[in-house]
Amino acid sequence: MATNDLLEAFRKTYQNLHLLPLITPEELANFKVEYGEVMVAELEQVIEDCSDTNNKIIFGGHRGCGKSTLLADFGSRISDRYFVVFFSIADMIDRSDINHINILFAVAVQMMDRAEKEKITIKDSIRNNFYEWFARKTRTNIEEFKKEGNLGINLLQWIKLALKTNSTVRDELKEEFKRKVSDLIDRINEIASVIQDATEQDILVIIDDLDKLDLPIIRTIYYDHVKVLMQPSFRIIYTVPIAAMREISLRRTLETETSNQVKFMHVSKFFKQGENRNPNAVPNQK
């Protein structure tokens, strides 16, 4: 086979194997392969066992092992019992600029966005109060959105775009809440309380793709500001890279702050440890 043919075959093979996570119900229904059932059961148990003072879970695993698909599927499975908000932080904020403040602000935006999409009945005065708060914090001229006749959806979509593309908005949020993060926590909890009252369901937020951040950013988020991330009053699953769990001080901090509610994605091994380089190694048939 010619060199160019080999190169093309390699590229095609790489493209075929470079798969994105299955996130939507349609993708899961069409392409899902059963796996991780033990992990799903463990997550379900820890979610059920959460208390008002201990309701944060850390979820880690090797990159590419199927965490995103498993978490999306898990959220879908328990959506009849919980108001589930699943989102990728990478879709909300530039990865190089993620911090504890804009993570929590993104949670607030996503909870309201989910409530709008599900047509959750929230009193207009309360809903508009929330939107006006979002507008003030992002320096948005709310009158322009009111004129559109669809205040909530327009504003939330604009905020999502601003968080993703506008570093000035992210900087302003950081400065706004740097010394009064309790105000942000209070508003997040208020939004959650309104949604819980309207749906009669507890809230579960699953934040995906935090595990794809560089370690210096992970250390800042999960070591320096972990106590802030634990303050919302509802259940949250935070993802972390497996490398973070190999740093003893960081791992102990996460275990302490979550009362040992740290879960790892199980990875199936084709070969026993140490045999993967043996040309005569016998794979695990199961």
Question: What does 17-48 look like in DSSP terms, one character per residue?
Answer: H-PPP--SHHHHHHH-----HHHHHHHHHHHH
- This prediction's pTM: 0.84
Structure tokens at 281: 């190694």
In terms of Cβ atoms closer than 10 Å to its own Cβ (0-12, 13-18, 19+), residue 76 is middle
**At CA 165, angle to CA 111 and CA 222, rounded to 5?**
60
DSSP letter assigned to residue 86: E
Q: Are 106 and 94 in contact (CB under 8 A)?
A: no
Least confident stretch, 63-72, 170-179, 253-262, 264-273? 264-273
Q: What tens digit of pLDDT does each residue of 18-77 get?
A: 667 777 777 777 777 776 788 899 999 999 999 988 999 999 988 777 888 899 999 999
Amino acid 174 reads: K
Q: What tens digit of pLDDT does each residue of 99-119 get?
A: 999 999 999 999 999 999 999
Residue with tokens 């090797």: 62
The CATH number of 55-264, from 1.20.1740, 1.10.760, 3.40.50, 3.30.390, is: 3.40.50
pLDDT band (50, 70, 90) for residue 152 = low
Amino acid 96 reads: S
